[in-house]
Amino acid sequence: MTAEIITIGDEILIGQITDTNSAWIAKKLQNINISVVQMTSISDSQNAIRDTLAAASLRADIVIVTGGLGPTKDDITKKTAALYFGTELLRDENVLLHVRRFFEQRSLEMLSINEQQADVLANCTVLFNDVGTAPGMWVENNGTHFVFIPGVPFEMKFLMDNRILPRLSSLDKSGAIWMQNIITAGLGESFLADKISDIEDDLPPHIKLAYLPKYGSVRLRLTSMGDDLSDLQKQITAIASRIVDRVLPHVIATEDVTLEEVIVQEFTKRQLTLSTAESCTGGYLAAQLTAIPGCSQMYAGGTIPYSNVLKENLLDVKESTLKAFGAVSEQTVIEMVTGLKNKFRTDYAIATSGIAGPTGGTTEKPVGTIWIAVAGKEQIVSKKFLFTTNRQVNIELATAQAYILLWNVFWQENNFIAK
């Protein structure tokens, strides 16, 4: 069974907001054996909505539409859908009662325009929205299942989890899909492809291999389609095992996770701790970790010693080292990471210092020069990088490489094998 996801909103098309809903929905659909064939973003216009609904119904069994369900004049999704289905909008009294209570509980004035939130398609099944005022709607038309939900992320997620996914799970889905992810780090896409070229050449027609690179890592995704789910799982497991054996120690996980998530999981499991000192990355290392639930079990904290004075006062970097070699040097990051590990009393520590740009570079140390040091239980490893002239890119690249360097030290000291 296939699905198409449509997001409605001019704010997406002009780049004012990023469409994160589609990616979230696609992952949820994959878990119940529904394949997404297309994602489409369109404007709040009658022609765009009507034409896209018609085209999507020819491509997919399920069409999920997010956005455009508000009470204001620019939200025309419901009216356009009524025209498309040849039906009308009716006011649902149960939804209206919910909307009134919603405003009363928050001591907010309810305007007449807010009553329009209770208007639903006459031919739909109402998907009650406990956490917002706009209900979802489910319509079956000419063999296609159409689902309309609000674009507000937390409302969308509530309706998907509690109203839509249970209904989709009960549908008769012919065929099977199975996916396996292999997360690698520290090996470029082309080098990775070269190492496993013979394995890729041996893949049967119903199994596809995709390379999904990002800063510092490459996610390999094996996708198989057929009739027997158990058989697909066995085939994918065997192929994934061959790939993992071939590219160790660059494999960090065999599930869809980030390197930072794996670090949090493995450090927590082994009761190891980590601290960070960020001069050029400005807290980006810490932000990546603290976005992960449970990181407090292994992340002690960090500091952002941008100035030389703070490097000296907080991390015991010697004034003579800074004068002789400068803040952006191997000697300085080694003293930074040593002082950090001692001060914070952690098992591992990371320090960064560099010239993020776009100014501040010299002939000897151009913009993009970054030094990173990692202190482990048994060793200190440092490495120099020369990235780009773009400040944000340099920060993200430095963060990715810092975690790869940490991972390599951890892997060597703990004999880690990805499972």
Supply the CATH number for residue 358's domain: 3.90.950.20
Task: Give the model confidence (pLDDT) of 130-175 as tens digits.
Answer: 999 999 999 999 999 999 999 999 999 999 999 999 999 888 766 7
DSSP tag of 219: E
User: Looking at the structure, do residues 48 and 132 belong to the same domain, yes or no?
Assistant: yes
User: Looking at the structure, do residues 288 and 398 belong to the same domain, yes or no?
Assistant: yes
- What is the tally of structural domains in the chain? 3
User: Looking at the structure, do residues 231 and 316 belong to the same domain, yes or no?
Assistant: no
User: Looking at the structure, do residues 164 and 185 belong to the same domain, yes or no?
Assistant: no
User: Looking at the structure, do residues 14 and 74 belong to the same domain, yes or no?
Assistant: yes
User: Starting from the edge strand earliest in sequence, which strands make up the sheet with 207-214, in order?
Assistant: 207-214, 217-226, 176-185, 251-253
The answer as to whether 189 is a domain residue is yes
User: Looking at the structure, do residues 249 and 263 belong to the same domain, yes or no?
Assistant: no
pLDDT at 248: 85
The answer as to whether 419 is a domain residue is no
The answer as to whether 361 is a domain residue is yes
User: Looking at the structure, do residues 35 and 90 belong to the same domain, yes or no?
Assistant: yes
**Residue 53 clears pLDDT 60, i.e. is over it:** yes
The answer as to whether 61 is a domain residue is yes
CATH number at residue 93: 3.40.980.10
Task: Tally the C-alpha atoms within 13 A of residue 165's C-alpha that lie toward its C-beta.
Answer: 17
Closest Cα to residue 367, out of 386, 353, 393, 392?
Answer: 386
What is the distance between the alpha carbons of residues 344 and 327, in angstroms, rounded to a whole number?
21
Domain containing residue 216? 176-253
The domain boundary residue, chosen from 169, 196, 219:
169
User: Looking at the structure, do residues 159 and 182 belong to the same domain, yes or no?
Assistant: no
Q: Are strands 369-375 and 348-354 parallel, antiparallel or unpaired?
A: antiparallel
CATH number at residue 213: 3.30.70.2860
Q: 224, 177 in Cβ contact below 8 A? A: yes
pLDDT at 239: 97
Closest Cα to residue 139, out of 238, 64, 210?
Answer: 64
The domain boundary residue, chosen from 169, 196, 225:
169
The domain boundary residue, chosen from 169, 187, 215:
169
Q: 210, 223 in Cβ contact below 8 A? A: yes
User: Looking at the structure, do residues 123 and 182 belong to the same domain, yes or no?
Assistant: no
* Residue type for position 132: G
Q: Return mean pLDDT, the chain.
A: 93
Q: How distant, in Å, are the alpha carbons of 53, 363, 392, 404 from that of 367?
A: 49, 9, 12, 22
Helix (H, G, I), strand (E, B) or coil at 352: strand
The answer as to whether 399 is a domain residue is yes
The answer as to whether 65 is a domain residue is yes
* Residue 417: band (very low, low, confident or very high) from pLDDT cuts 50, 70, 90: low
User: Looking at the structure, do residues 361 and 279 belong to the same domain, yes or no?
Assistant: yes
User: Looking at the structure, do residues 138 and 184 belong to the same domain, yes or no?
Assistant: no
The answer as to whether 410 is a domain residue is yes
The answer as to whether 152 is a domain residue is yes
User: Looking at the structure, do residues 46 and 75 belong to the same domain, yes or no?
Assistant: yes
Task: Give the model confidence (pLDDT) of 68-94 as tens digits.
Answer: 888 877 779 999 999 999 999 999 999
pTM exceeding the 0.95 threshold for the entire prediction = no
